[in-house]
Amino acid sequence: MKNFTMAVATACLTVTAASAQVSLGVRGGYVNSNLSITSGNSQTVVPGTEAVDNWNVGLVVNIPLARNFYLQPLVNYEVKGAKLKPVTKPPAGAFSTATTKVKLQYLTLPVNAVYKIPVGTSKLAFGVGPYVAYSLNAKYNLSVYDDGKLVQDSYQPVDFSKSPNVPNSNMQLGRWDVGGNALISLEMSNYITVGANYSLGFLDIDRSDDLKIKNQSFGISIGVLLNREDW
């Protein structure tokens, strides 16, 4: 996977060097992520979820295709996941455990078709496209209760080879994710960019028949262009 990441980054830099019409930039920011969890069969108990605050950072390339139209591939490292609501309350008078949060660390490769509208000396960009993602790492937060009160919690690694691989749940998480992405951003003449995007997973990232789990996230980012392709 490291070789794959290096190959993608090298390809982006090669394209940039080969054409003065291509621009390269970096960006990062806030991600509000959640998991949509539904039952794969009528007898599976499904935990509730809440959105959590995460982050991302990445490399963006602008490739002109026609007047105001661009192809915009990205290489992102981003964290997704959700809080999990226990299906049952911790029992009184006894020790118990519950998985209360899941974190998924992805290498994500979106490829957006982007239309840019000149606004004074800046550009307003709208884009949409697919993404593919690979989970480099994943963790779950295991909470310990005594007499219904939280006494300890800690993150533990997800073993993707196990089934299930998240305790106190039926989750059998896989590494791959595929989905769609929509964005809006403002590219200013001082090379600074600000934007927002929404991503929705199309692929069920749970490998079992018990649950169907899909990623969803909203992000706000700020970045800088290292060069400008047509200004």
pTM reported for the whole predicted model: 0.85
What's the whole-number average pLDDT of the chain?
A: 88
Residue 62 CA to residue 71 CA, distance in Å, equals: 6
Instruction: Give CA–CA dist 31/11, Å, rounded.
Output: 27
Q: Of all residues in the chain, what percent carry a pLDDT higher than 90?
A: 68
Top pLDDT among 85 and 90 is at: 85
pLDDT at 14 over 60: no
| DSSP 8-state class, residue 183 | E
∠ CA 128-174-54, rounded to 5°: 55
- pLDDT surpasses 80 at 88: no
Rounded CA-CA distance 40/93 in Å is: 34
Lowest mean pLDDT segment, chosen from 12-16, 58-62, 132-136: 12-16
137-172 per-position pLDDT tens digit: 999 999 888 877 888 889 999 999 988 899 888 899
The number of residues in the chain equals 231
DSSP 49-106: EE-EEEEEEEEEEEEEEETTEEEEEEEEEEEEEEEEE-SSPPPTTSEEEEEEEEEEEE
pLDDT of residue 15: 47
In the predicted structure, residue 18 carries a pLDDT above the cut 50 = no
Determine the average pLDDT of the residues in 172-195.
96
Q: How confident is the model at residue 1 (pLDDT cuts 50, 70, 90)?
A: low
Classified as helix, coil or strand, 142 is strand
What average pLDDT does this structure show over 184-209? 95
Structure-token match 């602008």, residue found: 62
